[in-house]
Structure 1
């Protein structure tokens, strides 16, 4: 049988619309009149005239409104309404406002005596019960409507995407965790996580335990309750968690630490309990809390010093759920943070987080593997040397390397290339570290000369200091906020010596010393150099115990709530004196080296003025081969491409920080 027309589905909003229309009708018609009636307005003088002429059939007075209705006889309709009786309908009347009821009554009595009015005088009370009730309830109805509107608007803002059954303001205490399972898991697996082999092995073991727990329980082992991923930003902590979600094959609840924080009191603790209840119901399962320092920050020992009770209540609820009287059998907690020093000690103890997995910056081989992962979707040139790129990016995190690959692709596309070449990648590294080149920036000849002598001073000092990082490139082309920069290839060493740190300070001061020796004046160009060298000297004296006057002492205070220095004023004065002495000695040393090799320095500065960019081979041509060839220099010299390519080397700290001053990108030591 052919189907009939599709009828629209009933919607409750239709009923609301009908009710509103009916109410509006009653409101605007004063309760409504069933019969068809006509009325007109008239003045009190006209009313008196109509009555005296005998037009009125009856008069109805409304005292509360000081008005009356004069009903007109059928035979006199035309005199009053100037139309026929059929057009005005049944019982037409005239509305009249009056001043005094007594005057109306006296007037009608007189007209009755004169036989002009023989109708009835009636009185009515004006009221519309339904309308009166509606008007009295109008404020309440208005606020209820506003409340319903707010609830509907807020329904998408509370409760989170992972909770079932919709959400509203009444679900504000529900967890916002997103749940991933077999049906909606991430496509990311451990194959997409390059480097970090140690961290990957740790989390892989957790996944294997969930898949095959009998292998471990037969030997008496217990499933770890929690693992904390710790490391600098961009090293892949969240990526590891996504890989766990893709590999585990069990329910995975993902949530950020900030999702527990809300303006309502008690919401954070409620969300913690709801999250763990959901995870327990689907055990074995995994809970991942990203940026846990937002909720797990150490509780204050001074509650009167601005402590946040709501945050501490949320933390207490988290501590209880992770390891309290209740049982969390089959629930593993993964968390990530780059500020582990701020976390509460009770949160870090065994039984809550049994493992602390360090996700550090990748080394040379790990960077090579990370490049291979991020180069998969990029159309690269067949001659691209990935090993060289890995050498050019010490201190880069996985996120930085991903940014390099993307930036290189954009640079190649801008030049209408069919593939991304090695030169594009080297330009991308330059762009990320130093910023965009500003070749159009106007500089005077004196400024250009000062910058050239400054950067040549850095290059000269680093060439003749044994432990200074090997030089790769020097440029006086403005880039970002820096007017010039010297690029180095830092050694990837785990510890550093006093001699190495002093050589680095000396190299930092080389720019200011060159201005002083060869130009006879100093400028603000060394501001960034002075800042970094001063910080390095203070860390040597106050933290590393490398001072002659304060040997083997460390004044580092990890207590973030301490308001006192861990040393006396006398010691503070001694620290200042030692730092000043150390800086002065290295500055004098830099000046002596520059005076000794003044001829080579001046040639180097003139070459910079002429070419704007020089490389390590140019410095070697002037000063001869460097006496202390490092492993990094040997790696660079082993590749013929490094002699001609526009080489740029990364700095662990990132972009130079300077305001319209000459800077260099000499890295700090850890």
Structure 2
């Protein structure tokens, strides 16, 4: 029986009723009344002239003349005998529905008195039976329509705007004026929208475990609540840009199999007062209706900044009201424990303390930069869609990218594929990835930049000075490559592979500063003068020396003190946390540290001046030199690290130089 009913229902469907049908019927009635009403002028008779009218009168063809006084127009009606004449055939044929009330001609007259006199005179002289009547042209329906048309238009436009504002427009309910207090959160469908899973998130093992446990809370809450535990209210993902915070949230949306609401912190901010708090209430209402559910707020620092920090009273009241409502919804009376809030930010230091306390964001998940093992896993994920050479060593690439985030590694893979395609290669090989790293770190090569021979020589000795000092110091980063080809905003560059340290000792920082000052020291030793080319070097060592003195407490004169405030409170402090005498001492110690390392670099270069000259000449000749060139000149480093051999490139320097030249020519 069920099948029969279904078959009966599959017949031709009747068209759905639409309100536009009513509008169409009303319009058709108005047009019909206008066309077919007796007083209508929808049939326009042919025009004639007063002279021809006189001829028609004299012939006896006119039965009636109607003078319309308010339009200076006259309508001429012919007799039945005249309608049969050939001369009036066209006028009679134009009448679609001929009748006695239909004029055959019309004409415009000038002065009414003269027109009347001419007609009456002609009628009297010729003893005609034609009559003259007077009328006014009035169209009650037309006048009514024109009188109410402005009001109809205004009301129609008002209704149209109201329907648009109430959510009927293309902007959706969240963007309309009547729904401005509604949440802008996007609800993801785990079956169609989200395809990212935890398998797509490489590295981040600790953060992934924390997030996976949150997913398990929602899938199987009895496992935890049976022992008296409570499901956490929220988790805050904190980390540097590009480390994968949003990617983790996408994986949660793909794995949780519960309603997932996603929005940005800026979506709560609006020009109208009270909108932010209203959207927070609506967001949590929707989440509670669909509980268990997850809310993800990206860049929560847009609304979660510490309250009362702004000196301009009232300028941040709306943002503070939004934050207050968020605090209430997360942990207040009547909150629902089946709603978990995920948030992400790279500015955890500026968030309000009330937002960070236990009971709101119970867990703070730190998403750090990946180490060498995690970078290898990230490379493997991003290399899946890329056609790579069979000999590509992923572990080598991971060791060549210290300090790279997941987003940086994705950019390296994409850039390598573009470089390989530009060179018409069939697969992406190791050299393409190394070129991509150089492109991202240093910028695009500019071999066509105009540089004088004197400037080129200075640049060569500057870069050779960096390479020489770093080679001779134990704690300096091992050299990978030196070039005097302009790249980005720099005229020359030296690539190092720094050791990934968790703590740094003073002698290590001193060696790094000395190597950084090796470029300016080489200019002083070889030319007995210095140039402006060491700007970035001076900026780097100044920051490093200031950190040693004021942050890390590595200076004997200042002692074990730090003036660093990790809470960010110092951003709003108008006074220094130390006296003027201490400020002078800090400046003196910073200058002393830098000058000591500068003199140390000068002494090293003076003792190895011949090798410095040989290295600079080789750099001028080849423009790009590698670790092998330094080994031929200086010999093996006695204090090489465990990964020194892995920094060497797989191809000969000359071969790589030729490939780079071909790339730039293209």
Partner-residue secondary structure (3-state), 2:644? helix
Q: What does residue 393 of structure 2 align with?
A: 385
State whether structure 2 residue 524 is matched by structure 1 residue 516.
yes
How far did residue 194 of structure 1 move?
2.1
Q: Which of 159, 164, 168 matches 1:151?
A: 164
- Provide the rounded CA distance (Å) in 2 between the counterparts of 1:67 and 1:607: 105
State whether structure 2 residue 232 is matched by structure 1 residue 224.
yes
- Provide the rounded CA distance (Å) in 1 between the counterparts of 2:466 and 2:647: 25
Query: 5 Å matches for 1:493-504?
Result: 493-504=501-512
Q: Which of 559, 563, 567 matches 2:569?
A: 559
Partner-residue secondary structure (3-state), 1:92? coil
How many residue pairs were aligned? Answer: 636
Query: 5 Å matches for 1:627-666?
Result: 627-629=638-640, 633-637=641-645, 639=646, 642=649
Higher mean C-alpha deviation, range 563-572 or range 483-492: 563-572
How far did residue 452 of structure 1 move?
1.0
CA 327–292 in structure 1, closer or farther in 2 if over 3 Å, else same = same
Q: What does residue 70 of structure 2 align with?
A: 64
Query: 5 Å matches for 1:134-533?
Result: 134=146, 136-138=148-150, 140-141=152-153, 144-145=156-157, 148=160, 151=164, 155-159=169-173, 170-181=178-189, 183-184=191-192, 186-302=194-310, 304=312, 307-533=315-541
- Provide the rounded CA distance (Å) in 1 between the counterparts of 2:576 and 2:208: 40
How far did residue 159 of structure 1 move?
3.1
- Provide the rounded CA distance (Å) in 2 between the counterparts of 1:285 and 1:86: 80
Q: Which of 589, 604, 611 matches 1:593?
A: 604
- Provide the rounded CA distance (Å) in 2 between the counterparts of 1:481 and 1:541: 30
- Provide the rounded CA distance (Å) in 2 between the counterparts of 1:645 and 1:345: 57
Q: What does residue 653 of structure 1 align with?
A: none
- 8 Å CA contact 1:26–1:32 kept in 2: the answer is no
Q: What does residue 103 of structure 2 align with?
A: 92
- 8 Å CA contact 1:258–1:294 kept in 2: the answer is yes
Partner-residue secondary structure (3-state), 1:333? strand
Q: What does residue 138 of structure 2 align with?
A: 126
How far did residue 410 of structure 1 move?
3.7
Unaligned runs of at least 5 residues, structure 1: 161-166, 648-670
How far did residue 223 of structure 1 move?
0.7
- Provide the rounded CA distance (Å) in 2 between the counterparts of 1:312 and 1:349: 17
State whether structure 2 residue 638 is matched by structure 1 residue 620.
no
How far did residue 277 of structure 1 move?
1.5
- Provide the rounded CA distance (Å) in 2 between the counterparts of 1:140 and 1:439: 71
TM-score (norm 1): 0.82
How far did residue 395 of structure 1 move?
0.4
CA 504–36 in structure 1, closer or farther in 2 if over 3 Å, else same = closer
How far did residue 436 of structure 1 move?
3.2
Q: Which of 523, 534, 540 matches 2:542?
A: 534
CA 69–278 in structure 1, closer or farther in 2 if over 3 Å, else same = same
Partner-residue secondary structure (3-state), 2:303? helix
Partner-residue secondary structure (3-state), 1:39? coil
How far did residue 55 of structure 1 move?
5.5
- Provide the rounded CA distance (Å) in 2 between the counterparts of 1:503 and 1:36: 100
Partner-residue secondary structure (3-state), 1:614? strand
How far did residue 231 of structure 1 move?
0.3
- Provide the rounded CA distance (Å) in 2 between the counterparts of 1:213 and 1:38: 83
- Provide the rounded CA distance (Å) in 2 between the counterparts of 1:601 and 1:562: 49
- Provide the rounded CA distance (Å) in 2 between the counterparts of 1:495 and 1:34: 98
- Provide the rounded CA distance (Å) in 2 between the counterparts of 1:140 and 1:582: 83
Report Cα offsets for 1:291-339 as digits up to 9, x if no partner.
2223323334447357244433332322221112222221111111112
Q: Structure with the greater relative contact order (CA < 8 A, sep ≥ 6): 1 or 2?
A: 1
- 8 Å CA contact 1:108–1:117 kept in 2: the answer is no
Superposed CA RMSD? 3.9
Report Cα offsets for 1:41-72 as digits up to 9, x if no partner.
34566667766776553343444334343434
Report Cα offsets for 1:456-482 as digits up to 9, x if no partner.
011122223343222222112333333
- Provide the rounded CA distance (Å) in 1 between the counterparts of 2:220 and 2:316: 43
CA 184–36 in structure 1, closer or farther in 2 if over 3 Å, else same = closer
CA 211–92 in structure 1, closer or farther in 2 if over 3 Å, else same = closer
TM-score (norm 2): 0.83
How far did residue 525 of structure 1 move?
2.2
CA 640–218 in structure 1, closer or farther in 2 if over 3 Å, else same = closer
How far did residue 578 of structure 1 move?
4.3
CA 94–377 in structure 1, closer or farther in 2 if over 3 Å, else same = closer
Q: What does residue 658 of structure 2 align with?
A: none
- Provide the rounded CA distance (Å) in 1 between the counterparts of 2:427 and 2:492: 31
- 8 Å CA contact 2:57–2:123 kept in 1: the answer is no
Partner-residue secondary structure (3-state), 2:47? strand
Query: 5 Å matches for 1:5-20?
Result: none
- Provide the rounded CA distance (Å) in 1 between the counterparts of 2:526 and 2:159: 76
- 8 Å CA contact 1:53–1:116 kept in 2: the answer is no
Partner-residue secondary structure (3-state), 1:481? coil
- Provide the rounded CA distance (Å) in 1 between the counterparts of 2:571 and 2:128: 101
- Provide the rounded CA distance (Å) in 1 between the counterparts of 2:630 and 2:168: 66
Q: What does residue 668 of structure 1 align with?
A: none
Unaligned runs of at least 5 residues, structure 2: 1-6, 655-666
CA 412–121 in structure 1, closer or farther in 2 if over 3 Å, else same = closer
Partner-residue secondary structure (3-state), 1:289? strand
Q: What does residue 46 of structure 2 align with?
A: 40
Higher mean C-alpha deviation, range 41-50 or range 246-255: 41-50
- Provide the rounded CA distance (Å) in 2 between the counterparts of 1:538 and 1:121: 109
How far did residue 238 of structure 1 move?
1.5
Partner-residue secondary structure (3-state), 1:122? strand
